[in-house]
Structures are given as C-alpha cells and as structure tokens.
Amino acid sequence: MIRSFNGKSPKIAESAFVSEAAYVIGDVELGENVSVWPGAVLRADFGKMIIGDNSTIEDNCVIHTGTPRTVFGNVLIGRNVHVGHGAVLNCESIGDYVLIGMNATILHNVKIGDFCIIAAGCLVMEKMIIPERSFVVGIPAKIKAKVTEEQLYWVKEAPLTYVDLMKQYKEQGLGSD
C-alpha cells in the first residue's frame, strides 16, 4: 500500500519493487532496483526517507523518520544496503554496502559508515557513530572487529541476489502498481 501524507507522496523508481503487503507512506524516495518486501512499513511522516539504489528492505521491517527531541528528522539509507527480516530502524544514516541483520534495532540519530555489518538481534543505541568496515554485535551494540573480506562477500552479493529476485516478482505481476 502506497499512501500520501500531509501533501507528501512517495517517489518510487520505475524499477523498484514494493510488495502489495508493504506500507509506504509520506516523504519516501526509493531508488532504482529497491525492493520492499511483505509486511515492511516505511513511514516518513516526521521527515524525509531516502533509500538508495539496489537496497533491500526485507519482510516485517519498520523504518520511521523522526527523533525524540526535535520530532523531525530524516533517514538516509545508502546504495546496496540489505536490511534483514524484522529489523527496526529509526536512524539518521546508513552508508553504502551495509548489511543490517535480522531483528536488529537501530535507534535514533545513529550513523553507520560504508561496508558495515550489524549482526542479527543487535541493539544499536541512540547517537552511536559506527565507522566504515565495522562488524557490530550485541545488546547494547559494540564494535567487535573490522569486517573481513570473507564477510564482505555477503555485503556485496546480497543486493545483487535481491535485484534478480524482485525482477522475477515484477515479471509475474506481483507488487504494488
């Protein structure tokens, strides 16, 4: 379901895929080949949300704009970002080639650099700044190590796999119009 709110309508690239069971509302921009899967909620009512090319928002994710103190705040998600099932994001920015693990929670005003992996179930606390190539784990989140070349395989290949998958969905007439 794609909806306008307060005069702001989602801008969705022609090549993007939004499941008919997802909810996208407000000042949202989805780049080329972005995929938004069933149960995902992208709510841009307290600021603008931009999701870069080839990024994937998997099933049951929630992404919401805004911050606790000022209410208004934008969310910028880079290119080739893979957000795993059930993740909750209310962050400020995520760089390019980032993997957010399943059921991870990213709180307000967090900034994540390029080529990072945020482990499944991780809780990234408010205002944390995560440098590029960080491997982050735990509750609360801690930077455990630098991302290895072997780990980067998943960061680089997952977006390509999902671009192919969402094209198959579109070819079969699935997704929002």
**Separation of alpha carbons 90 and 74, rounded Å:** 9
With respect to residue 141, please indicate whether it lies within any of the assigned structural domains: yes
Is 52 part of any domain?
yes
Which residue range forms the structural domain that includes residue 15? 2-170
> pLDDT at position 154, please?
84
The yes-or-no verdict on residue 68 having pLDDT over 90 is no
pLDDT at 36: 98
Does residue 134 belong to any structural domain of this protein?
yes
Position 177 pLDDT exceeds 80: no
At residue 60, the pLDDT reads 98
pLDDT in tens, 147-164: 999 999 889 988 899 999
Summarize the confidence of residues 138-152 as an average pLDDT: 96
More confident residue, 107 or 158: 107
Three-state SS letters, the chain: CEECECCECCEECCCCEECCCCEEEEEEEECCCCEECCCCEEEEEEEEEEECCCCEECCCCEEECCECCCECCCEEECCCCEECCCCEECCCEECCCCEECCCCEECCCCEECCCCEECCCCEECCCCEECCCEEEECCCCEEEEECCHHHHHHHHHHHHHHHHHHHHHHHCCCCCC
> Does some domain include residue 117?
yes
If one counts the domains in the chain, the total is 1
Within a domain: 176: no
- 50-76: average pLDDT: 94
pLDDT at 67 over 90: no
Query: Mean pLDDT, the chain, as a whole number?
Result: 96
Q: Give the pLDDT mean for 118-130.
A: 98
Q: Is residue 160 part of a domain?
A: yes
Give 69's pLDDT tier (boundaries 50, 70, 90): confident
pLDDT of residue 19: 98
The domain that holds 102 is classified in CATH as 2.160.10.10
Rounded-to-integer distance, Cα 141 and Cα 68, Å: 20
Range 133-158 average pLDDT:
95
- Structural domain includes residue 177: no
For the segment 119-130, the average pLDDT, to the nearest whole number, is 98
113-139 mean pLDDT: 98
